[in-house]
């Protein structure tokens, strides 16, 4: 494209691609503005002028000028600012799909991928990836409501997402009534002396700082939180644990293990005292997930630990 500039949508405004148009069926090149006005439905003069003015338009991944010509095969992208009510938009992100039925899908989520948008997270989420994977076959509202349980952004491993109302009706009671089973592998600092144990300490948000989630051993705040653990192996200065959740509070395993004096290796939010975290990731992985399928039979899925001990 002649005259194109590097793509620079509105500064500091999170953007996403609202629509992608592949130019076709043109007998000869045509001005971009005229193409949108006369060859595409839904493009009024005021909207086209706004797209150019706000830099919400890309032609072959560069910002166009009004006079630029388009030809068959050119790709036009219509951008839009991400808004607070827009929690999901399709992104082409690879997914490791473990299993799928008409009503649910099991994913092995990588560390660093948030399950959903919020608090400044717009891109790279699990729901965005699923929105792209399903395109128009599953509505984004169904996906958003389909998070019947969650994994922290920096925790990797197995998660099931309901795709339909029937999927939610199948899965939600199982997690609420503790029929579903989740097991995690955690590499922690220090040598855990007991072969197994249970941490039963409430977890809640600091009343003075909503973002501060912590343990409240005196029970003054928070909700019941119970984590069971078993030592799988002990190394020179670390221990490998298998953890089972009886409840599902935000950051529960991380908070409970820090409280016991054995924080998870790589945990920048709940680290050991006077310790600089340099590990590349949080060493916490959801390696086993079990729930009952549509016919009532138990289904069990496993994902190998992605880090070495």
Say whether 181-309 and 85-177 share the same fold: yes
Phi and psi torsions of 186, nearest 5°: -135, 130
Q: Which of 201, 276, 287, 302 is nearest to 241 (CA)?
A: 287
Residue spans per domain, the chain: 15-81, 85-177, 181-309
What does each of the 309 residues of the chain score in pLDDT, given as a tens digit? 444 444 444 444 566 677 889 999 899 999 999 999 888 877 888 788 888 877 888 999 888 887 899 999 999 988 876 554 456 778 889 999 999 999 999 999 999 999 987 666 778 899 989 988 988 677 766 777 889 998 999 999 999 999 999 999 999 999 989 999 999 999 999 999 999 999 999 999 888 887 789 999 998 888 999 999 999 999 999 999 999 999 888 899 999 999 999 999 999 999 988 888 888 999 999 999 999 999 999 999 999 999 887
Which tokens is 98 given?
């473990």
Q: Extract the tokens encoding 152.
A: 């922290």
What token pair was written down for 114? Answer: 């948030």
Note the pLDDT of residue 80. Answer: 72
CATH number (3.90.550.10, 3.10.129.10, 3.40.50.1820, 3.30.2350.10) of 85-177 reads 3.30.2350.10
Taking CA atoms, 134 is separated from 35, 96, 129, 247, in Å, by: 30, 14, 9, 31
* pLDDT for the residue 144: 75
List the strands of the sheet with 75-81, edge to edge.
Answer: 15-22, 75-81, 57-59
Q: Which CATH number is associated with domain 181-309?
A: 3.30.2350.10
pLDDT of residue 1: 43
In three state form, how does the secondary structure of the chain look?
Answer: CCCCECCCCCCCCCEEEEEEEECCCCCCCEEHHHHHHHHCCCCCHHHHHHHHHHCCEEECCEECCCCCEECCCCEEEEEEECCCCCCCCCCCCCCCEEEECCCEEEEEECCCCCCCCECCECCCCHHHHHHHHHCCCCCHHHHHHCCCCCCCCCCEEEEEEECCHHHHHHHHHHHHCCCCEEEEEEEEECCCCCCEEEEECCEEEECCEEEEEEECCCCCCCECCEEEEEEEEECCCEEEEEEEECCCCCCHHHHHHHHCCCCECCCCCCCCCCCCCCCCCCCEEEEEEEEECCCCCEEEEECCCCCCC
Rounded CA separation 206/213 (Å): 6
Task: Give the orientation angle of helix 32-39 with respect to helix 45-54, to 10 degrees.
Answer: 140
pLDDT at position 53 is 78
Phi, psi of 75 (to 5 degrees): -115, 120
Q: Tell me what pLDDT residue 236 has.
A: 92
pLDDT at position 4 is 44
CATH for the stretch 15-81: 3.10.290.10
* Adjacent-strand bridge partners of 196: 230
**Tokens standing for residue 81:** 């600012």
Residue given tokens 């006369």 in the structure block: 38
Residue 145 CA to residue 223 CA, distance in Å, equals 23
> The pTM is what?
0.71
Query: How many residues are present in the chain?
Result: 309
The answer to whether the CB of 2 falls within 8 A of the CB of 41 is: no
Q: Residues with catalytic annotation?
A: 152
């Amino acid at each position: 494209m002649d005259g194109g500039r590097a793509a620079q949508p509105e500064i500091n405004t999170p953007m996403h691609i609202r629509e992608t148009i592949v130019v076709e069926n043109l007998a000869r090149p045509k001005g971009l503005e005229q193409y949108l006005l006369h060859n595409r439905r839904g493009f009024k003069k005021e909207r086209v002028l706004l797209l150019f003015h706000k830099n919400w338009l890309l032609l072959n991944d560069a910002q166009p000028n009004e006079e630029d010509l388009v030809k068959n095969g050119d790709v036009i992208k219509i951008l839009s600012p991400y808004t607070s009510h827009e929690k999901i938009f399709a992104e082409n992100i690879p997914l490791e799909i473990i299993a799928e039925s008409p009503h649910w899908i099991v994913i092995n989520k990588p560390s660093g991928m948030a399950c959903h948008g919020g608090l400044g997270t717009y891109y790279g989420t699990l729901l965005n990836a699923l929105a792209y994977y399903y395109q128009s076959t599953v509505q984004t509202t169904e996906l958003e409501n389909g998070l019947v349980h969650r994994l922290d952004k920096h925790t990797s491993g197995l998660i099931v997402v309901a795709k339909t109302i029937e999927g939610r009706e199948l899965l939600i009671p199982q997690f609420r009534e503790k029929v579903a089973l989740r097991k995690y592998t955690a590499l922690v600092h220090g040598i855990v002396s007991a072969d197994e144990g249970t941490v039963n300490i409430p977890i809640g948000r600091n009343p003075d700082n909503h973002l501060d989630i912590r343990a409240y051993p005196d029970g003054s705040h928070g909700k019941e939180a119970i984590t069971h653990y078993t030592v799988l192996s002990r190394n020179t200065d670390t221990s490998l644990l298998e953890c089972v959740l009886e409840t599902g509070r935000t950051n529960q395993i991380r908070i409970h293990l820090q409280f016991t004096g054995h924080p998870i290796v790589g945990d920048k939010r709940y680290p050991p005292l006077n310790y600089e975290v340099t590990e590349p990731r949080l060493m916490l992985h959801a390696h086993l997930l079990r729930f009952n399928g549509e016919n009532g039979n138990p289904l069990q899925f496993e994902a190998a630990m992605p880090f070495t001990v």
